């Protein structure tokens, strides 16, 4: 048994797949309904990826913590795992035209008639709006449901896939590493660089010219 435990200890834990730009676009397109759940889920996915939010940060967003800007939205995060002093962070969400996070956010608020309190709320099984914020687990369920609808394997995705998706796509687009860290609120550059390395393992490979 001891030997078995050693072998398992040396194994790499299976990574969940990042919901990068292409994947998230597929997920958003798969949610075709016009009911409250469809509007909420589209906004949740687009905002979650655009802000590189942790699940707990995403469900804690309230109307009072979001302000409009000519270039998009500014979301105030009161505190986080890497902000022990509690100063908080302000996350900028650009008014993009590909994944349209700002559009989906506004459309959800208009559809639900939300003007105060939690942004991302629980719905009853019948699809009625409640005043309670979604749970972190609820975010994961939305991601997995969207993965199924888009033709992906749901077990490959989790709530973290949205956050990982932003960093993966930013690395693919050769974004500045320091700006990526600033946006994702990671404690170190090394943690952010891991997402870039995952994408670049085959780029300019040392054996490209002779293998």
Residue 186 appears among annotated catalytic residues: yes
pLDDT of residue 206: 64
Give me the catalytic one of 29, 71, 81, 179: 81
How far apart CA 153 and CA 164 sit, in angstroms, is: 17
Residue ranges making up the domain that contains 181: 16-200
Tokens 């949205």: give the residue. 162
Average pLDDT over residues 174-185: 84
Task: List, in sequence order, every residue forming a beta bridge with 67; answer none if it has no partner.
Answer: 74
| DSSP string covering 80-139 | -TT-TT---EEEEEE--SSS-HHHHHHHHHHHHT--SSBSSEEE-TT--EEEEEPPHHHH
Residue pLDDT, tens place only, 99-142 = 999 999 999 999 999 999 999 999 999 999 999 999 999 999 99
Residue 140, in any domain of the structure:
yes
Closest CA to 123 of 97, 101, 145: 145
Confirm if 61 and 120 have CB atoms less than 8 A apart.
Answer: yes
The number of domains in the chain is 1
Residue 160 appears among annotated catalytic residues: yes
Residue 163 appears among annotated catalytic residues: yes
Q: Is 77 helix (H, G, I), strand (E, B) or coil?
A: strand
Residue 20, in any domain of the structure:
yes
Give me the catalytic one of 121, 144, 163, 185: 163
Residue 4, in any domain of the structure:
no
Residue 3, in any domain of the structure:
no
Tokens 């078995």: give the residue. 4
Q: Residue 24: which CATH number?
A: 1.10.443.10
Give me the catalytic one of 39, 105, 152, 195: 195
pLDDT above 90 (res 143): yes
Residue 10 banded pLDDT, cuts 50, 70, 90: very low
Residue 89 appears among annotated catalytic residues: no
Give me the catalytic one of 104, 144, 160, 183: 160
Residue 9 appears among annotated catalytic residues: no
Question: How many CB atoms within 10 Å of residue 108?
Answer: 23
Residue 24, in any domain of the structure:
yes
What is the residue-averaged pLDDT of the chain?
87
Residue 195 appears among annotated catalytic residues: yes
Tokens 């967003």: give the residue. 61
Residue 86, in any domain of the structure:
yes
Give me the catalytic one of 54, 55, 144, 181: 54
Residue 48, in any domain of the structure:
yes
- Candidate from 28-42, 84-98, 162-176, 190-204 with smallest mean pLDDT: 190-204
Residue 183 banded pLDDT, cuts 50, 70, 90: confident
Residue 117, in any domain of the structure:
yes
């Amino acid at each position: 048994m001891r030997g078995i435990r050693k072998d398992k200890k040396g194994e790499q834990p299976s990574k969940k797949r990042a919901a990068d730009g292409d994947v998230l676009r597929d997920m958003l397109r798969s949610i075709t309904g016009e009911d409250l759940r469809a509007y909420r889920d589209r906004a949740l996915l687009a905002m979650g990826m655009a802000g590189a939010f942790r699940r707990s940060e995403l469900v804690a967003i309230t109307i009072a913590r979001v302000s409009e800007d000519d270039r998009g939205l500014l979301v105030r995060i009161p505190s986080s795992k890497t902000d022990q002093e509690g100063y908080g962070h302000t996350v900028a969400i650009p008014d993009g035209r590909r994944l349209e996070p700002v559009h989906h956010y506004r459309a959800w608020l208009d559809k639900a008639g939300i003007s105060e309190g939690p942004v991302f709320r629980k719905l009853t099984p019948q699809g009625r709006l409640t005043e309670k914020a979604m749970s972190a687990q609820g975010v994961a369920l939305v991601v997995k449901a969207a993965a199924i609808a888009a033709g992906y394997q749901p077990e490959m995705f989790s709530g973290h896939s949205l956050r990982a998706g932003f960093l993966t796509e930013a690395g693919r687009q050769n974004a500045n590493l320091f700006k990526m860290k600033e946006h994702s609120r990671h404690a170190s550059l090394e943690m952010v660089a891991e997402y870039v390395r995952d994408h670049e393992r085959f780029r300019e490979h040392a054996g490209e010219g002779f293998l």
